[in-house]
Amino acid sequence: MSVNRTMSEIATHAVATECSRESDQGLAPIQPGATLGVVGGGQLGRMFAIAARQMGYRIAVWSDEAGPAAECADVSLVADYSDVAAGQSFFAQIAALTFETEKLPLDLFRRVPAGTPIRPGIRFLEMSQNRLREKGGLQAAGLPVGPFAPVRSLAELEAGVATLGTPAILKTASGGYDGKGQIRIDAAEDLDQAWRSLNTDEAILEAFVPFVDEISVVAARDVSGQCVTYGPIHNTHRHHILDVSYCPVDLTADVRRRAVDITQRIAAEFAVVGVFCVELFVLADGRVWINEIAPRPHNSGHLTIEGHATSQFQQQVRCLCGWPVGSAEQLKPVAMANVLGDCWRSGPPDWGSVASRWPQVQWHLYGKTEPRPGRKMGHLTATAETPAAAVESVVAARQVLSHRSNEL
Ligand code: AMP
């Protein structure tokens, strides 16, 4: 099996002529007072709703289960995404539609009335829903991704391992997140067992990338094609979940330029209108490869709320409504630490100590009642004179928050 041939076979090359209603460029911006729709009810939808309300919009959230966004919405629909009648009455109330997760059925968007803008568009969403489509589409557009192979059977897994070598990472093509649906394949791996345990009929095998840094760039592109970027933002993960992000990052000018250039090219190539994030690997020799795209605001971009002139959520509102993008100027070095359910392990978090000892730390809670280990409950942000000082504040505050002050 030739990896290249297979790549071109699967490359859908989501086209520049984005299918969404980007022809609505000439339409007047949607004015405050209108109702904006968001599909998905998690914390990203909640922070979008908060930004939208601040800007004078009403918010309608459609989620298939109760979640944190509804609390901040004017209209909340909890219904299966296949519910056509519920969708019709939801769409009738909104002036424009966005989404806060990519794990959504495309059919829902195909039922949206023709005059209602969907931003970003359906093709960009579709590409990012499937790792094979995404990597194939990016590669076909000449954008840098690591070596990969499609896997739809044990034979293809064996062929992929023979071509790419080990270690490698086998991931479900769709549906995985935060490291779920992933298996590291080492030389001695029982491939039959690995393939069966993934329990899928479509996967991607990726060569293990020996990255020196993981970074992301968040972008906002408006209807006129003007695109601003945030970052690169530096990201560290724990147990595959984002742990700490900070910005600015000490990178060479070349690496920085490559990361921003890749992001701008994705925005233009796929005619994105809205906010998206590109997660990138930085290699020791300065090459930058795309890991994945999120077609929406991203956890690493939460630090833009305090760190930048316009937050990623305000940009989402601006782009959705047809306004020009706002300034992405960074105001101060900034860091963010996620607060997971684990912080509740030794009892309710110690917010009092955080408030009194770290006045520079802001906390955000998503209104989730059940603090399960690994569940994103909120995040902390700090600005400081240097990124290192900002990281130190959020990490120290989080330790005290979760009664782990002895680890300081
Ligand atoms: P993902 O869900 O694809 O973003 O993967 C979660 C994390 O696993 C990434 O942030 C990386 O730390 C690691 N990872 C994913 N893919 C690779 C790869 N091909 N090589 C090395 N590490 C990877």
The pLDDT value given to residue 406: 45
> Is pLDDT of 37 > 80?
yes
Q: Which SS3 state, helix, strand or coil, does residue 307 take?
A: helix
Return all residues near 148 (Cβ < 8 A) that are at least 6 apart.
3, 7, 135, 164, 204, 205, 206, 207
In a domain, 139, yes or no: no
Q: Are 378 and 290 found together in one domain?
A: yes
Mean pLDDT of 352-363: 96
Q: How confident is the model at residue 383 (pLDDT cuts 50, 70, 90)?
A: very high
CATH of the domain at 180: 3.30.1490.20
CATH of the domain at 35: 3.40.50.20
| Per-residue pLDDT tens over the stretch 63-85 | 999 999 999 999 999 999 999 99
Q: Which of 133, 129, 131, 130 is nearest to 99 (CA)?
A: 129
- Average pLDDT score, the chain: 91
The pLDDT value given to residue 177: 65
Measured from the Cα of 131, ligand 1's closest atom is 3
Between helix 312-321 and helix 43-54 the angle, nearest 10°, is: 70
Task: Tell me the C-alpha distance between 48 and 40, whole Å.
Answer: 11
| Per-residue pLDDT tens over the stretch 81-130 | 999 999 999 999 999 999 999 999 999 999 999 999 999 999 999 999 99
In a domain, 140, yes or no: no
> Is pLDDT of 13 > 50?
no
Domain final position from 155, 172, 207? 207
Measured from the Cα of 206, ligand 1's closest atom is 19
Q: Are 298 and 375 found together in one domain?
A: yes
Q: How many residues does the chain have?
A: 408
Mutate to test the pocket of ligand 1, among 130, 240, 244, 280 (most ligand atoms within 8 A of CB): 240
Q: Which SS3 state, helix, strand or coil, does residue 288 take?
A: strand
In a domain, 360, yes or no: yes
Residue 169 Cα to ligand 1 middle (Å): 8
Domain final position from 173, 207, 241? 207
Q: Are 188 and 240 found together in one domain?
A: no
| Per-residue pLDDT tens over the stretch 219-260 | 999 999 999 999 999 999 999 899 999 999 999 999 999 999
Mean pLDDT of 198-225: 96
> Is pLDDT of 380 > 60?
yes
The pLDDT value given to residue 18: 37
CATH of the domain at 258: 3.30.470.20
In a domain, 142, yes or no: no
Mutate to test the pocket of ligand 1, among 129, 138, 161, 169 (most ligand atoms within 8 A of CB): 169
Asked if 305 and 311 touch (Cβ cutoff 8 Å), the reply is yes
Measured from the Cα of 211, ligand 1's closest atom is 21
Range of the domain at 273: 211-407
Question: Pocket around ligand 1: residues whose beta carbon is below 6 Å from it?
Answer: 146, 169, 179, 206, 208-209, 214, 237, 240, 279, 291-292
Q: Are strands 96-99 and 35-39 parallel, antiparallel or unpaired?
A: parallel
Q: How confident is the model at residue 32 (pLDDT cuts 50, 70, 90)?
A: very high
Measured from the Cα of 235, ligand 1's closest atom is 10
DSSP assignments along 46-104, one per residue: HHHHHHHHHTT-EEEEEESS--TTGGG-SEEEE--TT-HHHHHHHHTT-SEEEES-S-S
Task: Tell me the C-alpha distance between 227 and 54, whole Å.
Answer: 23
Rg from Cα positions in the chain: 21
Asked if 402 and 342 touch (Cβ cutoff 8 Å), the reply is yes
DSSP 330: B
